[in-house]
Structure 1
Amino acid sequence: MRTYEKYIGKQVYLTFSFILFAFSGLFFFFDLIAQLDAVGHGNYRFGYALLTVALLVPGHFYEIIPVAVLISAIYVFAQMAGSSEFTILRAAGMSPQRALGTLMKLGVPLLILTFVIGEYIGPYANQLSERVRLSAIGSSVSSGFRSGVWLKDTVASDAAAGAAGNGVTRFVNVGRLNPDATISNVKIYEFDPRYRLTHVRLAQSGVFVPPNQWKLDGVTEMALERLSDEPVADLNSLIPLYQSSLKTMPSYLMRSELTPRILSVLLVAPENMSIYALTSYIHHLRENSQDTQRYDVALWRKIFYPFAVFVMLTLSLPFAYLHSRAGVVGMKVFGGIMLGMSFQLVNTLFSHIGTLNTWPAPVTAALPALLYLVLGIVGLRWVDRH
């Protein structure tokens, strides 16, 4: 690496670290204030609130990194322009293309950092934060419905239920999803391949048994047997269509495609999930013929978001060509903050609009970054000409 690249890189990385921790400290303060209302419920004390908020910091790192990159690069370039250092580099033969190439080199470690935090550290920390909070409060995961969480489960065959080779479709209602991934107050409505109700099971609790079974405890099962295959319109209304039998079981092993990993998506928003978790859940939804638009958009945003680092660095370069008389450093940094915040707002806005209008997920996720990339290139050409 050339000497000037090391010099610029050192300045950008130091400023980036300071801005990143400054912004995350601000978010930490706001999150802590939001948690104060829950302090005192159950065992949720102030120490648990601090731990819960601290575990949210990696997720904020992921959101802040592109904006922090933009602000730090603008600050460094504004300082260099004010002291004529950048003018000296230009006189020594550094063209805009070479300067942009230098920034792309500096952006690679930041891109890798963004990906690692977004794929591994952030999602795990967010889930752990929610588990800590729910465990301390003594609550379960809320689905937003009074009836609990509704899930569709399609199994090719279910030998335990006596339907081997035929396949079953279940609609599962989980009344409570506990932080330790156990479930309780479970209702299971099971249908045959022709979507005729065959079993209704009620279970007090359940625990997952790897690789693909749930052990349900305190089970009450009602089996429905259809007495005739004739169409309903051809049958006498006095002739019974079904015969039911009721039995109770202390435990029941049920094969299922639902796993704690799939259920754990209820602990975090799709935007905070990893690419692997999103891919698994999208596959599950598609197998059950359910809508995946929101999760498709979240997946493609996860794929494209680390590359926003390059977009922000491109946007910052035109500020290096503005001399000190064109504006003080503070005004340039303020402009960078506004530019970075507008990118976040546009990115979020496009996600919601794309989800509502069912736009192609890759286009919805990539379009904001492409728009700001074009803006950065146009700005760079303008300042170079003037």
Structure 2
Amino acid sequence: MKTIRRLIYGEVLAAIALVALGFLALFFFFDLVDELQYLGKSSGINAADIYQIRHALLYVGLLIPNHLYELLPISVLIGTIFVMARLAQSSEYTILRTSGLGPWRALKLLLVLGALFVVFSFAIGDYVAPASERAAQLLKARYQNKITIGQTGAWLKEKQAYNTYVVNVKTLSPDNEMQGVQVFEFNNKGLVVSTTQAPLATFAAGDAWLLHKAVRAEFEVPTGFASASKPHDSAKVSRTTLETFRWPTEISAEMVSVALLKPERMGTIDLFNYVRHLDANGQTAQRYEIEFWKKVFYPLSCLVMVILALPFAYLHFRSGGIAGYVFAGVMIGISFFLLNNVFGYIGNLRNWMPWLAAATPGLLYMAVSLGAFGWLVLRR
């Protein structure tokens, strides 16, 4: 049995590595072509900081761990299908079956291999990919002078003892400085108490922000302002310009960077903490909850893929017919990747339970794989 395990594991690992390498080379080429448009550009702050080909190569290289995380289940499926189909075509798998490799034992062998890829996928997606993605964004920001999302940047909300604050940060510089900061303060009645705008803000010690060259407007609303008995009362507005304004807040640099990055590029713990922050401040967290559960369930899809690949070992192949089954494996992998993304968007639009929206693609393919295993392996 040890010899059989060594044979199957060696073949499958080599095939998965080859498939993953091919996909990564393809994505590396596409990303590099996309970066060519930025060559020769600089942030404008330092003319010596020009975006060169070596920077583009480094940036594209830092994106590889995230691509590997996304492509690993597909690579596991295609590599395992190729090995199982090739063993069946050459009648090697028939010899292994006569040597005592029954369906359940073969399934157990592949599930152990799939579990290893689950651990590997979790490590890549939760530790390596977020760190490399952050490094890539900081590298790009050095030459574009910003990290931003959309046209308006990131919006955050915080409830404090008496008032509620809504904060807008347009961009984050490579030096961890926030640019285009706006702070809106509301009282417990929902009325605007003050607004503070600053072109630059930094993180200060002791849970606070330092807003530089801040323009602060404070609104004083008279009692009964909205009543019909005092129609001529008006709010008083006082404006002040401050060289530095210290705003106490628990919104940390990590939360700002998380808000400016795509949620699928975050780690599981970062997503969990950010969801808790949104819930505590009465903000909708549906999108981030779905991404959190996708982070939890996505590595488990490697188990689904090895189960789906096992029935290919029990098919009968004609000469040269293996290419068609490998192509079918490619289509199945691509459909899983697309369905996984589509269900995330549908779950967000339809307000589904986050764990259900994230787990449904895996459950569907698990049912298909178990059905194929029962029909092609056990009943035949």
Instruction: Give the TM-score normalised by structure 2.
Output: 0.92
Helix, strand or coil for the counterpart of 1:115? Answer: helix
1:273 equivalent among 247, 251, 266: 266
2:231 equivalent among 237, 240, 260: 237
Is 1:150 matched up with 2:155? yes
2:245 equivalent among 252, 261, 264: 252
Deviation at 1:104? 0.8
Deviation at 1:366? 0.9
* CA distance, structure 2, for counterparts of residue 220 and residue 380 of structure 1: 67
Deviation at 1:298? 0.8
* CA distance, structure 1, for counterparts of residue 342 and residue 236 of structure 2: 54
Q: Which amino acid aligns with 1:44?
A: Y
Helix, strand or coil for the counterpart of 1:245? Answer: strand
Is 1:107 matched up with 2:114? yes
- Aligned residue for 1:262? 255
Q: Which amino acid aligns with 1:236?
A: K
Decide whether aligned partners of structure 1 residues 233 and 309 sit closer, same or farther in structure 2, where only a CA change above 3 A counts.
Answer: same
Deviates more, 1:42-51 or 1:177-186: 177-186
Deviation at 1:72? 1.0
Helix, strand or coil for the counterpart of 2:251? Answer: coil
Decide whether the 8 Å contact of 1:126 with 1:268 is kept in 2: no
Deviation at 1:326? 8.3
Structure 2 alignment gaps of length 5 or more: 43-49
Q: How does 1:1-386 map to 2 (within 5 A)?
A: 2-42=2-42, 43-138=50-145, 140-145=146-151, 147-156=152-161, 167-227=162-222, 229-230=223-224, 232-240=226-234, 242-325=235-318, 328-384=321-377, 385-386=379-380
Helix, strand or coil for the counterpart of 2:58? Answer: helix
* CA distance, structure 1, for counterparts of residue 328 and residue 180 of structure 2: 54
* CA distance, structure 2, for counterparts of residue 267 and residue 40 of structure 1: 26
* CA distance, structure 2, for counterparts of residue 373 and residue 175 of structure 1: 43
Decide whether the 8 Å contact of 1:314 with 1:377 is kept in 2: yes
Q: Which amino acid aligns with 1:335?
A: A
- Aligned residue for 1:162? none
How many residue pairs get aligned? The number is: 372
* CA distance, structure 1, for counterparts of residue 111 and residue 229 of structure 2: 75
Decide whether the 8 Å contact of 1:48 with 1:136 is kept in 2: no
Helix, strand or coil for the counterpart of 2:318? Answer: helix
- Aligned residue for 1:159? none
Q: Which amino acid aligns with 1:233?
A: S
Could you say what the CA RMSD is over the residues aligned between the two structures, in angstroms?
Answer: 1.9
Decide whether aligned partners of structure 1 residues 68 and 239 sit closer, same or farther in structure 2, where only a CA change above 3 A counts.
Answer: closer
* CA distance, structure 1, for counterparts of residue 210 and residue 220 of structure 2: 25
Decide whether the 8 Å contact of 1:122 with 1:272 is kept in 2: yes
* CA distance, structure 1, for counterparts of residue 187 and residue 354 of structure 2: 34
- Aligned residue for 2:45? none
Decide whether aligned partners of structure 1 residues 30 and 187 sit closer, same or farther in structure 2, where only a CA change above 3 A counts.
Answer: same
Instruction: Give the TM-score normalised by structure 1.
Output: 0.91
Give CA deviations for 1:93-115 in whole Å, capped at 9, x if unaligned. 22211111111111122111100
Structure 1 alignment gaps of length 5 or more: 157-166
Q: Which amino acid aligns with 1:144?
A: G
- Aligned residue for 1:164? none
